[in-house]
């Protein structure tokens, strides 16, 4: 299944000529962008050019909700009991960075990781827009609106856009860039309220391709949000081996739709093309072509079919990542990168109700011990191990991002939002191995050394990808918009 953010239609589930034309027509909204847009500084020398552009691919793991830094990578065993909680630290292979006892496999790969312990911001709310775009400052209205005039392009969309400007379109049948798994953000909870990663003013041509999940959960759990309990079959706890991710109907054509019929429909569209020869150089038409070609490519591509076929992986590999929604999503991301997708995002999203995922206001320790930390432990460690074994780690930037941390002091049922100190991870392409950057106070409440922001993380990621963080992009009115204002490259994090 292919979802293009902003459209409620599902291409190729019931593919019609009208829907293909609609997919192409999305490019009309991007008029004025194609061919005008990389407006980089171009006049200054980028420092540390030896380290510039070492990453060729990105796997972004986003832990939505705000994981507890004091129970993962910034533990405070000497703090009072109401701060340190129930979980104990263990030694990792990164000196000076003990990790939680529920992360034994992650402990073994920490010598390949840079830990950013000193992130903070001023918005005490879920903010994926702030964490993954150039948005200077988040707010509740901005973060709770799926489409807002102040939204800025998601990092994956920027990467896709700049790659297209520099290298042109990918060949027909190639795996496209900028995919997000497992499904449309916050679509498996009661209210679809949060701002989803999207291309913003770059136009629909550069929207992420959202996946979908087809499978069954194998375990159930009682959950509650300051109210009655409900029982959920949650795929984050476990899924059946035949569960799958879908990016496009390359995995299953709609009933009655053959490739022969699809190509006949394409021929009809090509006849229409003859009537617009004089428009061939139009920005809008080029955008329409790209979107339409993408729709056909996704249906026909054997590379995508192969990349999405998890049965090609040995059982031991699938088990190493964990037979959970997140674990198999991370494995799927590795397969997509190997197939040619250069930017894949896997979001550990909420499921079933509010305050699920990493938003542990309630049932905090039980969920960390029995669901969240074990799932992350297997997936993240297996990813780094496999990328290393396959010779891909040095060219694949792995990011573990979130929008905030949790309160150092426990509340009645868990830990609440905390924006004054939190932790992100970086590894792989262009990133230093075995570094800890920044420091918080004795209870993990405030940054006391090397303060960082989400914009610094993005600037560093762009630098590793060979994109000048001082690049500017044209908005809908062709006004220059800084890529990451107020963001500086974290030099200590680079190899």
Q: Report yes or no on 25 lying in a domain.
A: no
Q: Report yes or no on 422 lying in a domain.
A: yes
In DSSP notation, 359-394 reads --SSSHHHHIIIIIHHHHHHHHHHHHHHHHHTT-GG
User: If DSSP codes are grouped into helix, strand and coil, which group holds residue 487?
Assistant: coil
User: pLDDT tens digits for 374-414?
Assistant: 999 999 999 999 999 999 999 999 999 999 999 999 988 89
Integer Cα distance of 36 and 298 in angstroms:
27
On the question of pLDDT at 49 being above 50, the answer is yes
Structure-token match 């590795």, residue found: 334
Integer Cα distance of 278 and 475 in angstroms:
27
Integer Cα distance of 423 and 117 in angstroms:
5
User: pLDDT tens digits for 447-471?
Assistant: 999 999 999 999 999 999 999 999 9
31 vs 439, higher pLDDT = 439
Number of domains the chain is built from: 1
Among the residue ranges 17-26, 137-146, 297-306, the one predicted with the least confidence is: 17-26
Structure-token match 């200077």, residue found: 136
Q: Give the containing element (helix H, strand E) for 155.
A: helix 155-167
Q: Report yes or no on 290 lying in a domain.
A: no
Contact between 184 and 193 (Cβ < 8 Å): no
* pLDDT given for residue 43 in this prediction: 35
CB neighbours (10 Å) of residue 275? 8
Q: Report yes or no on 274 lying in a domain.
A: no
Mean pLDDT value across the chain: 84
Q: Report yes or no on 423 lying in a domain.
A: yes
CATH number where 243 lies: 3.40.720
For the chain, percent helix, then strand, then coil, each to nearest 5? Answer: 35, 15, 50
Domain membership of residue 415 as a residue range: 32-250+301-493
Among the residue ranges 34-38, 356-360, 373-377, 426-430, the one predicted with the least confidence is: 34-38
In sequence order, what are the beta bridge partners of 124?
A: none
Report field, pTM of the whole predicted structure over 0.75: yes
* pLDDT given for residue 14 in this prediction: 37
> Residue 182, preceding bond cis, omega within 30 degrees?
yes
State mean pLDDT over 128-137. Answer: 92
Q: Report yes or no on 402 lying in a domain.
A: yes
Q: Report yes or no on 417 lying in a domain.
A: yes
CB neighbours (10 Å) of residue 272? 11
Integer Cα distance of 403 and 395 in angstroms:
26
Q: Report yes or no on 97 lying in a domain.
A: yes
Contact between 324 and 219 (Cβ < 8 Å): no
């Amino acid at each position: 299944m292919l979802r293009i953010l902003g459209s409620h239609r599902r291409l190729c589930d019931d593919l019609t000529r009208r829907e293909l034309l609609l997919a192409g027509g999305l490019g009309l909204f991007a008029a004025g962008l194609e061919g005008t847009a990389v407006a980089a500084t171009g006049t200054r020398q980028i420092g540390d050019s030896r380290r510039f552009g070492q990453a060729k691919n990105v796997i972004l793991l986003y832990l939505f909700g705000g994981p507890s830094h004091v129970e993962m990578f910034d533990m405070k065993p000497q703090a009072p009991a109401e701060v340190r909680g129930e979980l104990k630290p263990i030694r990792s292979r990164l000196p000076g960075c003990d990790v939680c006892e529920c992360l034994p496999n992650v402990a073994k790969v920490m010598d390949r990781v840079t830990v950013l312990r000193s992130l903070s911001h001023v918005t005490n709310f879920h903010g994926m827009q702030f964490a993954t775009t150039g948005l200077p400052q988040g707010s509740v209205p901005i973060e709770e609106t799926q489409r807002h005039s102040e939204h800025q392009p998601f990092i994956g969309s920027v990467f896709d856009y700049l790659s297209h400007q520099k290298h042109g379109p990918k060949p027909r049948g190639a795996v496209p860039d900028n995919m997000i798994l497992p499904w449309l953000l916050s679509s498996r909870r009661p209210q679809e309220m949060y701002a989803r990663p999207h291309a913003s003013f770059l136009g629909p041509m550069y929207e992420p391709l959202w996946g979908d999940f087809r499978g069954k959960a194998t375990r159930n759990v009682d959950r509650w949000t300051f109210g009655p309990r409900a029982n959920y079959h949650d795929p984050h706890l476990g899924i059946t081996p035949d569960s799958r991710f879908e990016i496009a109907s390359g995995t299953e054509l709609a009933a009655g739709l053959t490739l022969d019929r699809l190509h006949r429909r394409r021929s009809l569209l090509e006849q229409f093309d003859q009537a617009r020869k004089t428009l061939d150089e139009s920005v809008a038409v080029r955008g329409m072509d790209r979107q339409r070609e993408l729709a056909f490519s996704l249906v026909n591509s054997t590379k995508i079919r192969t990349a999405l076929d998890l049965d090609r992986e040995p059982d031991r590999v699938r088990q190493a990542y964990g037979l959970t929604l997140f674990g198999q999503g991370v494995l799927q991301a590795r397969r997509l990168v190997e197939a040619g997708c250069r930017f894949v995002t896997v979001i550990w999203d909420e499921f079933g109700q509010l305050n699920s995922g990493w938003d542990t206001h309630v049932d905090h320790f039980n969920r960390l011990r029995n669901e969240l930390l074990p799932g992350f432990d297997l997936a993240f460690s297996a990813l780094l191990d496999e990328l290393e074994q396959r010779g891909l780690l040095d060219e694949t930037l792995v990011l573990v991002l979130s929008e905030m941390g949790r309160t150092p002091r426990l509340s009645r049922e868990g830990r609440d939002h905390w924006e004054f100190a939190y932790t992100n991870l970086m590894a792989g392409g262009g990133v230093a191995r075995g570094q800890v950057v920044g420091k918080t106070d004795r209870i993990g409440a405030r940054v006391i050394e090397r303060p960082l922001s989400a914009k610094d993380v993005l600037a560093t990621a762009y630098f590793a990808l060979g994109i000048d963080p001082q690049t500017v992009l044209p908005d809908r009115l062709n006004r220059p918009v800084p890529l990451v204002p107020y963001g500086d490259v974290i030099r200590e994090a680079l190899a």
